[in-house]
Homo-oligomer: A and B are copies of this chain.
Amino acid sequence: MGTTQLDTVPEPKYWHLRTVLSEALDSEFSVGEILPNERDLAARFGVARATLRQALEQLELEGRLQRRRGVGTTVAPPRMGVAVGTEQHTWPGAVGDAWQPVDCATAVAPAAVARALETGSEERVHVVRRSLVTHGQPVAAELLYIPSSSVPDLSGIDAPSGTARARSVLRELQHLELEGEDRAVELGSARADDAKELDRLPGAPVLLVTTRFFAEGRTAAVSVATYRADTCRLTFGDTGGVEIHHDPERRAS
């Protein structure tokens, strides 16, 4: 006998748990249902609460669960598709744009943004804050950096800041002819203020979408948008995208 050594590499407990829970979610729970609390679940599976939590974190990352302090853990609905890039490019704030202007101020852009805008690193630019809400749920927060040179006729316009100002800046922007845009997506963690706006805790995983807007042969505006990674699927192209991931019917019958 001895050690037959045929035992496969031991799978971590939390990973195995994740799988077991995932299957249970498919077969025994429906969307919105509340799971037993963490202490009970941990006891039921015979693991420490921290281990159980590691498994839940995975499932939350995958958009399968939603946890809220003081409330409980619920089964999340499938991720919602959010259209990010359509084939026909338009300025932010154009008709049909679902984003809501929140306010506007002038500030010095972060160095990397200033570089993209080719403004001096001391130069103040317009910063329009917008937010995207779908089905009553906050989905994304955006900061739009617009140098004065892109909105030259913004002079004696009424409000110095606030929502009205934001609308004015966006309106002025439409006067430029948009020549193209350029986009990047990466993983990030929510800063404290974004987290609050998105109704998440600081450090929550988010998808950062950075867009450069080109006009008059230069970068006329830069947008940095923060999407909730747990609830969103970003779609590109006109047709809306397929919902492929996590499919309970995976196993062939």
Chain A interfacial positions (CB closer than 8 Å to B): 12, 15, 18, 58, 61-63, 79, 81, 85, 108, 110-113, 116, 121-122, 180-189, 192, 202-203, 205, 207-208, 210, 212, 222, 224, 229-230, 232-245, 247, 249-250, 252-253
- Is B242 in contact with A187, judged by CB distance below 8 angstroms? no
Known pairs A62-B188, A189-B58, A203-B15; A113 contacts B244 (CB<8 A):
yes
A212 closest partner in B (C-beta): B242
- Is A184 in contact with B222, judged by CB distance below 8 angstroms? no
Q: Shortest Cβ distance from A191 into chain B, in angstroms?
A: 10
- Is B212 in contact with A245, judged by CB distance below 8 angstroms? no
Q: Shortest Cβ distance from A247 into chain B, in angstroms?
A: 4
Report Cα–Cα, A208/B62, bound state, in Å: 11
Report Cα–Cα, A130/B181, bound state, in Å: 29
- Is B244 in contact with A112, judged by CB distance below 8 angstroms? yes
Known pairs A189-B61, A247-B111, A250-B110; A241 contacts B184 (CB<8 A):
yes
Known pairs A108-B252, A242-B116; A61 contacts B182 (CB<8 A):
no
